[in-house]
Amino acid sequence: MRIVDSARPKGLSSLAQYRALLLKDLRQEIRTREMLTSMAVYALLVLTIYGAALSQVGDKIQVVSFAGGLLWALIIFTSLLGLNRSFSHETESGCLEGILLAPVDRAIIFLAKATSNLIFLVAVEVLVLPLFFLFFLSGADLAGTTFYIALPLLIGTVGVAGVGTLLSTMTIDTRGRDVLLAILFIPVAFPLVYACVSATTVAFMGVEGTFGTFWTSCAVAAAYDVIMIAAAWGLYEFAVDS
């Protein structure tokens, strides 16, 4: 007896698998709030330390001149905390193997996890950024530059989520993965962080005539996103299967 069958099971589509993986992550996070709570609390603690550090500065130094760097330090360290936890549910009882057993393109797993990480990072930024502006930039006139502040934040967060997802997958089964992720992530993401700090600082300063630097930095960051996310997409099968 011979059975003639289609190569792909009935009703199987990459989009449906992507949606299932993403919804599962969102549902779990809504129930446990594990990642969002830890990232938000950590970000608030960093803001408190910034407050203590800057309380002695007085009027001699303009905080706005280095606020871009402070903001990105806050985002990167908060993201690292979240990325370290992004596979905690999968590794707890072997669920990642359960996913890998299924006929799912490994790139779809990457895309779904990167999307959920992006959503969680943006959610924390939405919560924390108003506080950052309230505490450290309340005197600055930023009304006209909202778009210029938001653009590098968005480009940078996309890159952090993409590269971070690949690297956190690579460190899943390693000892001391918290430290290892930071050691791998910061050098790899340095060009992105540098470009985003540059663009954000220009946006904060709002100096006429420096917006050429802004656009150049945004273009560098966007190019980094495209190249690194394409590389992560391609490398993910190797990362997750090994």
Partner 1 sequence: MLVRDAVGPAVEAHGLVKQFGDRRALDGVDLALPRGSFLSIFGPNGAGKTTLLRQLALLARPTRGELHILGVDALEEPDVLRSRIGLISHKSMLYGDLTAHENLEFFASLYGEPDQARIDELLRLVELDHRRNDPVRTYSRGMQQRLSIARALVNDPDLVLLDEPYSGLDPHAAELFDRLIGRVREDGCNRTFIMVSHDLAKGYALCSHALILARGQVVVCAEKQGIDAAAFKDLYLATVGMGVA
Q: Which residues bind partner 1 (CB under 8 A)?
A: 1-12, 16-17, 20-21, 24, 27-28, 31-32, 89, 92-95, 97-105, 241
C-alpha span between 200 and 13 (Å, rounded): 40
Please state the closest distance from residue 157 (CB atom) to partner 1, in A: 26
C-alpha span between 82 and 29 (Å, rounded): 12
Please state the closest distance from residue 242 (CB atom) to partner 1, in A: 8
If the CB atoms of residues 19 and 230 are measured against partner 1, the closer one turns out to be 19
Which tokens in the block code for residue 137?
């930039």
Helix, strand, or coil (residue 213)? helix
C-alpha span between 24 and 36 (Å, rounded): 15
If the CB atoms of residues 22 and 46 are measured against partner 1, the closer one turns out to be 22
Return the amino acid letter for 215. Answer: W
If the CB atoms of residues 90 and 125 are measured against partner 1, the closer one turns out to be 90
Please state the closest distance from residue 125 (CB atom) to partner 1, in A: 25
If the CB atoms of residues 55 and 242 are measured against partner 1, the closer one turns out to be 242
Helix 106-136 / helix 146-170 crossing angle, nearest 10 deg: 140
Please state the closest distance from residue 234 (CB atom) to partner 1, in A: 17
CA separation (Å) from 11 to 3, 70, 94, 104, 108?
19, 48, 26, 13, 16
